[in-house]
Structure 1
Amino acid sequence: MATSVATKTAWKLQEITAHSSNVSSLVLGKSSGRLLATGGDDCRVNLWSVNKPNCIMSLSGHTTPVESVRINTNEELIVSGSQSGSIRVWDLEAAKILRILMGHKANICSLDFHPFGSLVTSGALDTNIKLWDVRRKGCVFTYKGHTQAVRCLRFSPDGKWIASAAEDHTVKLWDLTAGKLMFEFTGHTGPVNIVEFHPNEYLLASGSSDRTVRFWDLEKFQVVSCIEEEATPVRCVLFNPDGCCLYSGYQDSLRVNGWEPECCFDVVLVSWGKVADLSICNNQLIGVSFSQSTVSSFVVDLNRVAKSASVLPGLIKDDRPLAQPTPTGSSLRRIYDRPSTTCSKPQRVKHSSESERRSPSSEDDRDEKESKAEIQNAEDYKEIFQPKNSITRTPPRKSEPFPAPPEDEPIAIKEAAKPSQAVNVQTPLPNPDNPQSPFLLQPAPIASSTPVTRAEPSVIPAARNAPIGLKASDFLPAVKKPSQCEIVDEEAMSQIRKGHETMCVVLTSRHKNLDTVRASWSTGDIKTSVDSAVAINDLSVVVDLLNIVNQKASLWKLDLCTIVLPQIEKLLQSKYESYVQTGCTSLKLILQRFLPLITDILAAPPSVGVDITREERLHKCKLCYKQLKNISNIIKNKSGLSGRHGSAFRELHLLMAVLE
């Protein structure tokens, strides 16, 4: 029965090669859940219909990698932002470029369409948020307040506010009409990756790399609740259309959360890796993720997912879908007042430093002529985007639900690039011992027909605990013909036990090393703690320690920099994403806190007489300067990368410009 539930609750739908180079961004249409837009390092935006293999339309014109894309509510327009800071708005029905918007000075990290007005908002690595009038091709207003890259922007359902989430650990709420900050929500201890408005109530949800989801009351401007249950960052969130629950996407899992009180209604394990976006159609949740040039789509059957504490998953009889819980009681909060017509024009604010407008130029006109929308699949294009004067339009939302794979056959996966790594599926079951924690995760038996493939992942995904040098594929046997390999329960358990002892030895050793570092830490001598971590010669221990020290800027001293900088050099060159992320965070903190001091001391004239303290400080500064010069070469080489790490390296490169 467990296998049946696991097979039917979530499954992989499709895998496609979306671009000729790496995919750098993607987004699902929220109305249909069937429209997918991808941006790539090849400077193109490609449009797809979910579960169909061929590209519908390819949009060209950007000259640098496309790092952010967004589809409007009616799924008629797409806006794309590039690494250079340019923004393009495309008309999908007319298959042409609509507008080019210029004004940001760095990578575009986030975009959103106004729910019913002709406005677009954009956030960038330059920390600014801009509001654009698509019709007039100009910037209406620039919002300043964040101190680091703006990772996500969302208009409120009534179109009056913008919520922004940034790497500076804050969520801000902006008033469009007044053109000013309404409130700043603090509480997250890591970069905030995603923010989403409740579809009806004055409620806001935010997900962060600190592995928490926070809910904010937009009337009282205070936190409603905080959910802390996962060991990986929150990558995306989506409210159920009726607002009864929130779906949170994590590494290889989906959680269904409530907020008053905070609780987890259900957990579904899905092998989607780093899920990038979620959408809902026909009571199915669609999740998409990307790795290199490949995009994968997954389906979760929401009929088999609990959306309230009164309905538990796993209690399915006669293979019938779960009954949906009936909402009870009235809303706790004020409801959004959606106007029936377009929104009022945002008020022009007189502060010239804050507000800017840019008139069209001949250069923009030339760019528009060079930007093209090429229809790749005429049949799908006509089906989805009929002419605007057509009486009826048949968008993908009219399609039937995606069928689940047969229970008695292996799941068919279309290989576009290379075999995907096998992932064990777990099934949430009721926990009779603890009614407060209704779900007990148990591994589902592996069916005899499930194929197991061996594949080397190109990137080790980040997690709360740093990688320890082992990969999931280490526990699987080499297979000559992956598609024909079948295993039974006993063989699967044998493979797991084979690596169990090795894993225990590695974890025991790491635990012993951390105890050694903690003994030094308990004395209050931070320098000795870091020295002992370095002496152990295990980068995972250094990463664990730096993740703690990075949260307390007051602990950093010049002595600490001389010890940590050589370790940062190693971390930045690591193949593990979590190592690189920690190294970037530590280096940024050192540059912001100590680089001005180092350059000032080195530029100061020599002292008269003997000053031992000054000589020691000068020696440390020279040592740090030499180490930073070595690191600057690594930063310079990696600043051309795309995606989040590329943005981090480019920011570090700017901070280190003074060294040159």
Structure 2
Amino acid sequence: MAVSVTTKTAWKLQEITAHSSNVSSLVLGKSSGRLLATGGDDCRVNIWSVNKPNCIMSLTGHTTPIESLQINTNEELIVAGSQSGSIRVWDLEAAKILRTLLGHKANICSLDFHPFGSFVASGSLDTNIKLWDVRRKGCVFRYKGHTQAVRCLRFSPDGKWLASAADDHTVKLWDLAAGKIMFEFTGHTGPVNVVEFHPNEYLLASGSSDRTVRFWDLEKFQVVSCIEEEATPVRCVLFNPDGCCLYSGFQDSLRVYGWEPERCFDVVLVNWGKVADLSICNNQLIGVSFAQSTVSSFVVDLSRVTKSGFILHGLIRDDKPLVQPTPAGSSLRRIYDRPSTSCSKPQSRVKHNSESERRSPSSEDDRDEKESKAEIQNPEDYKEIFQPKNSISRTPPRNNEPFPAPLEDEPVAVKEAVKPSQAVDVQTPLPKQEHSDPIQRPPIAFSTPVTRTEPSVIPAARNEPIGLKASDFLPVVKNQSQTELVDEEAMSQIRKGHETMCVVLTSRHKNLDTVRAVWSTGDIKTSVDSAVAINDLSVVVDLLNIVNQKASLWKLDLCTIVLPQIEKLLQSKYESYVQTGCTSLKLILQRFLPLITDILAAPPSVGVDITREERLHKCKLCYKQLKNISNIVKNKSGLSGRHGSAFRELHLLMAVLE
């Protein structure tokens, strides 16, 4: 008789003794989910392969306990911050210290690597955030504004923003190229422990000790939703790679959330305790936790976890309506731009560096780097993981098979790591470099400033005149040809495969030139008339985006021309067209609807008043057009997301028409 065998949704994978004293921090590599770094009160950073018992490498040099760790996207570099405020960057593949960064005055509480550039961000108990250029060994910016310890830092997927979460209950968003704050999110009532960007959309999630998870819209800069039902503080969060849901780690469970509307898709009981980090590989979620000197790793089989709908362990929740998940690719929000091509000649690293980099370093930094070592503890695992640089696909742990799940009744074996043996020092001396004293300078904008209200209490101080450009925060692209392309050749390469789009854009440019010629005469009404006559909605959108910025340009006769175009825009499949239509309609309603209703309600005049008759005719025409539009607005007010809220606001403004 065949017996069916069931496996667990979550299980403990391993338990190791990671340090000779208490473990103080740990982090997983996000690309493989298999590389683990631990930091301890013994001032060491140890590197492990998940589910292997022996330490691969031990990094020394810090003189105080390790407080924060981060591994870069390629899993080639690791940065560690200590209790004293010092930061060290190691090259794992070369097994050597790369940089020592000094400048913070207290514990390093948070670190993150920039997704493209050679930058590291650090947050400290001293309330400061610093952006470091690892190549030049200098502090690029210092961001001041938090009033308590900065607990988490995250760069946006496009590399243009930095989000910070702190004990002062706030989350702040910084523009890297402009060197200033974009927005401060308030709403949490306790220290904010974690913050995470959605992988695709302009959405940010934050988890707090107030036991809530909040979702923030990065276009409208407001809260999208808030999960408030939890019993313990939020310890870590991670979006699913496709962005369909958010995983949150609590003391005894993993919870799976959606945000529009807020809901819990699933709860997986996992007794991991002090869970510190999460990663995903091969449809498995890996979680790591620590207690005293031991580190435990856990696996959750995501194929057995509900990620959409409202089904929770086979039961449909009755407290919230069943809503179909938004299909992939139909995002209501803007998505990040990730530039991937370039026709410019690659910059020379030597010429790009500052003059001071070629002079001798300060004796303090030189000593710190010479005393920092990367000791290989397990040569076989080290070669297997870090040496095959030229292979097309890296060997394990990058591309391991999924961790096998134990049977329901099978006990999980607990392993203890072999104690690190004395290893050969493989440190390679660095080229000598200088570390100059920080000089306070006013903030300098490197791109067009963001036209948003900027809180005056949050300046960003420039520490070193390094010549940072917005392009430094974009991916470095290797060009096949080392010779610089002339403009004609570059344009020819760009146009390849885009002939249709080039024809469309050329036509649009020609139409805009026609409208611009009329606009230069100062006749706004005729300009709009000419744009409408061209019969190209994209030209109308371009013109409205200009007119919308100055309300004084609007007149009643302009409304009669624009309203039929707004009706078309609101029904467009293009998000930007709908957004422009909503903005123009809101402006018309706020500025002219009271006037239209008053004139239509006024008693008829005695005698002949041609001006009044013309105004009455325009008001009747606008009223009729607004009635037609109100039906569209009413139908679309039930949508979810950003456009839904815009249509609901318009519906309220148009209530007087009913």
Smaller-chain TM-score range?
0.5 to 0.7
Structure 1 residues 298, 455: closer, same or farther in 2, change over 3 A?
A: farther
Change in Cα spacing, 1:253 to 1:356, as seen in structure 2 (3 Å) is farther
> Which structure has the greater CA radius of gyration?
2
Shift of 1:415: 5.7
Q: Matches of 2:534 and 2:217 in 1, distance apart?
A: 47
Indicate how the Cα distance of structure 1 residues 589 and 331 shifts in structure 2: closer, same or farther if over 3 A, else same: closer
C-alpha separation in 1, matches of 2:353 and 2:88: 25
More displaced 10-residue stretch of structure 1: 610-619 or 588-597 = 610-619
Cα pair distance change 1:251/1:349, threshold 3 Å: farther
Alpha carbons 2:332, 2:643 under 8 Å: kept: no
Deviation for aligned residue 1:108? 0.2
Structure 1 residues 216-258: Cα deviation after superposition (integer angstroms, max 9, x where no partner): 0000000000001211000000000000000000111110000
Task: Identify if the C-alpha distance between structure 1 residues 501 and 335 changes in structure 2 by more than 3 Å, giving closer, same or farther.
Answer: closer
The alpha-carbon distance between structure 1 residues 126 and 256, as it changes in their structure 2 partners (threshold 3 A), is same
Q: Deviations over 1:516-538 (max 9, x none)?
A: 99999999999999999999999
Q: Which residue pairs with 1:582 in the alignment? A: 580
Whether the aligned pair in 2 keeps the contact of 1:312 and 1:430 (CA below 8 Å) is: no
Q: Contact 1:270/1:425 (CA < 8 Å) preserved in 2?
A: no
Q: Describe the shift of the 1:271–1:504 C-alpha distance in structure 2 as closer, same or farther (beyond 3 A).
A: farther
Show CA shifts across 1:469-502 (max 9, x none): 9999999999999999999999999999999999
Q: 1:244 to 1:433 in 2, by over 3 A?
A: farther
The separation in 1 between residues aligned to 2:291 and 2:186, in whole angstroms, is 32
Cα deviation for residue 414 of structure 1 reads: 2.9
2:476 and 2:573 map into 1 onto residues whose CA distance is 23
Which residues of structure 2 form unaligned runs of 5+?
none
Change (3 A) 1:492 1:378: same
Q: Are the aligned partners of 1:466 and 1:543 in contact in 2 as well (CA < 8 Å)? A: no
Distance change (3 Å), C-alpha of 1:312 and 1:100: same
Q: 1:174-212 deviations in whole A, cap 9, x for unaligned?
A: 000110010000000000000000000000000000000
Higher mean displacement: 402-411 or 165-174? 402-411
1:406: which partner in 2? 407
Q: Is the 8 A contact 1:447 1:489 kept in 2?
A: no
C-alpha distance in 2, partners of 1:41/1:618? 80
Partner SS state of residue 532, structure 2? helix
Q: Give yes or no for the alignment of 1:397 onto 2:411.
A: no
1:468/1:506 contact within 8 Å kept? no
**Matched residue of 2:174: which SS?**
strand
Deviates more, 1:559-568 or 1:118-127: 559-568
Q: Which moved more, 1:459-468 or 1:597-606?
A: 597-606
1:647 shift after superposition: 43
CA offset digits 1:358-398 (Å, max 9, x no partner): 99422211211111001111111111111545565324121
TM-aligned CA distance change 1:484 to 1:559, over 3 Å = same
- CA separation of 1:30/1:136 partners in 2, compared to 1, >3 Å: closer, same or farther? same
Aligned partners of 1:350, 1:535: CA distance in 2, in Å? Answer: 54
Question: Higher mean Cα deviation, 390-399 or 177-186?
Answer: 390-399
CA gap 1:400/1:171 in 2 versus in 1, 3 angstroms: same
Aligned-partner Cα distance in 2 for 1:246–1:305: 12
- How far apart in 1 are the matches of 2:292 and 2:567? 25
Q: Compared with structure 1, are the counterparts of its residues 250 and 619 closer, same or farther at alpha carbon in structure 2 (3 Å cutoff)?
A: farther
Retained in 2: the 8 A contact 1:303–1:322? no
Alpha-carbon distance, 1:105 to partner: 0.4
- Call closer, same or farther: CA 1:354–1:446 in 2, change over 3 Å: closer
Shift of 1:52: 0.3
Separation of aligned partners in 1, 2:642 and 2:395: 37
Q: Is the 8 A contact 2:440 2:461 kept in 1?
A: no
State how 1:516-527 maps to structure 2 within 5 Å. Answer: none
Q: 1:409 to 1:337 in 2, by over 3 A?
A: same
- Compared with structure 1, are the counterparts of its residues 213 and 462 closer, same or farther at alpha carbon in structure 2 (3 Å cutoff)? farther
Measure the CA separation in 2 of the matches of 1:118 and 1:480: 16
Distance (whole Å) between structure 2 residues aligned to residue 84 and residue 651 of structure 1: 52
Bigger Cα displacement from structure 2, 257-266 vs 537-546: 537-546
Give the deviation of 1:327 after TM superposition: 3.4
Question: Relative to structure 1, is the Cα distance of residues 521 and 453 closer, same or farther in structure 2, using a 3 angstrom cutoff?
Answer: closer
CA distance in 1, matches of 2:147, 2:51: 40
**Rounded Cα–Cα distance in structure 2 between residues aligned with 1:632 and 1:362:** 73
Greater CA drift, 612-621 or 141-150: 612-621
- CA distance in 2 between partners of 1:411 and 1:445 (Å): 55
The answer to which of 276-285 and 319-328 deviates more is 319-328
- Aligned counterparts of 1:432 and 1:389: Cα–Cα separation in 2: 29
Contact 1:272-1:289 within 8 A present in 2 as well = yes
Deviates more, 1:202-211 or 1:351-360: 351-360
Q: Equivalences for 1:427-442 in 2 at 5 Å? A: none
Q: 2:225·2:261 contact (CA, 8 Å) conserved in 1?
A: yes
| 1:428–1:442 Cα contact (<8 Å) kept | no
* Change beyond 3 A, Cα 1:6–1:87: farther
Indicate how the Cα distance of structure 1 residues 464 and 142 shifts in structure 2: closer, same or farther if over 3 A, else same: closer
Q: How much has 1:459 moved relative to structure 2? A: 39
Render the CA deviation track for 1:269-297: whole Å, top value 9, x for unaligned: 10101211000010000010001100000
> Contact 1:120 / 1:134 at 8 angstroms: preserved in 2?
yes
Query: Deviation of residue 409 (structure 1)?
Result: 2.7
After TM superposition, the structure 1 stretch with the greater mean CA deviation from structure 2, 304-313 or 374-383, is: 304-313
Distance 1:144 1:457 in 2: 12
Deviation at 1:512, TM superposition (A): 80
Work out the CA distance in 2 between the residues paired with 1:295 and 1:29: 16
1:421 paired residue number: 422
Residue aligned with 1:439, SS: coil
**Contact 1:16–1:53 (Cα < 8 Å) also in 2:** yes
**8 Å Cα contact 1:112-1:153 kept in structure 2:** yes
Task: Determine if contact 2:215/2:259 at 8 Å carries over to the other structure.
Answer: yes
Q: TM-score, normalised by structure 1?
A: 0.59
CA distance in 2, matches of 1:174, 1:449: 13
Contact kept, 8 Å, 1:212 with 1:228, in 2: the verdict is yes
CA offsets 1:406-445 (integer angstroms, 9 cap, x no match): 23433333367999999999999999999xxx99999999
The change in CA–CA distance for 1:291 and 1:131 in structure 2 (over 3 A counts) is same
From the superposition, tell whether residues 98 and 317 of structure 1 become closer, same or farther in structure 2 (CA, over 3 Å): same
Please give the alpha-carbon distance, in whole angstroms, between the structure 1 residues aligned to 2:481 and 2:109: 39
- Contact 1:311/1:325 (CA < 8 Å) preserved in 2? no
Q: Distance in 2 between matches of 1:55 and 1:361?
A: 33
- Report deviation, 1:338: 1.0
Q: Specify whether residues 570 and 124 from structure 1 end up closer, same or farther in structure 2 by C-alpha distance, changes over 3 A only.
A: farther
Q: How far did residue 151 of structure 1 move?
A: 0.2
Which segment is superposed worse, 6-15 or 413-422?
Answer: 413-422
Measured against aligned partners, the alpha-carbon deviations of 1:16-41 in whole angstroms (never above 9, x if no partner) come to: 00001100000000000000000000
Partner of 1:86: 86
Q: How far apart, CA to CA, are the structure 2 residues paired with 1:649 and 1:64?
A: 56
In the TM superposition, what is the alpha-carbon distance from 1:161 to its structure 2 partner? 0.4
| Counterpart pick for 1:538 among 532, 536, 539 | 536
Going from structure 1 to structure 2, the CA distance change for 1:131 and 1:517 (only over 3 Å counts) comes to closer
Matches of 1:319 and 1:425, distance apart in 2: 61
Larger mean Cα displacement after TM superposition, 616-625 or 7-16: 616-625
* Alpha-carbon distance, 1:308 to partner: 0.5
Q: Please name the residue that 2:36 is paired with.
A: 36
- CA–CA separation in structure 1 for the residues paired with 2:300 and 2:554: 46
Distance 1:511 1:26, change over 3 A: farther
Q: Deviations over 1:43-80 (max 9, x none)?
A: 00000000000000000000100100000000000000
Please name the residue that 2:356 is paired with: 355
- CA distance 1:216–1:617, shift in 2 (3 Å): same
- 1:92 deviates by 0.4
Cα gap change, 1:615/1:220 in structure 2, threshold over 3 Å: closer, same or farther?
Answer: closer
Q: Distance in 1 between matches of 2:440 and 2:7?
A: 15
* Counterparts of 1:8 and 1:325, CA distance in 2: 26
Mapping for residues 525-564 of structure 1, pairs under 5 Å: none
* Change over 3 Å in CA distance of 1:6–1:366 after alignment to 2: farther
Q: Relative to 1, partners in 2 of residues 1:358 and 1:163: Cα closer, same or farther, differing over 3 Å?
A: farther
Range with greater deviation from structure 2 (42-51 or 610-619): 610-619
SS at match of 2:424: coil
State the alpha-carbon separation in 2 of the partners of residues 144 and 195 from structure 1.
18
Of the structure 1 ranges 406-415 and 68-77, higher mean CA displacement relative to structure 2 is found in 406-415
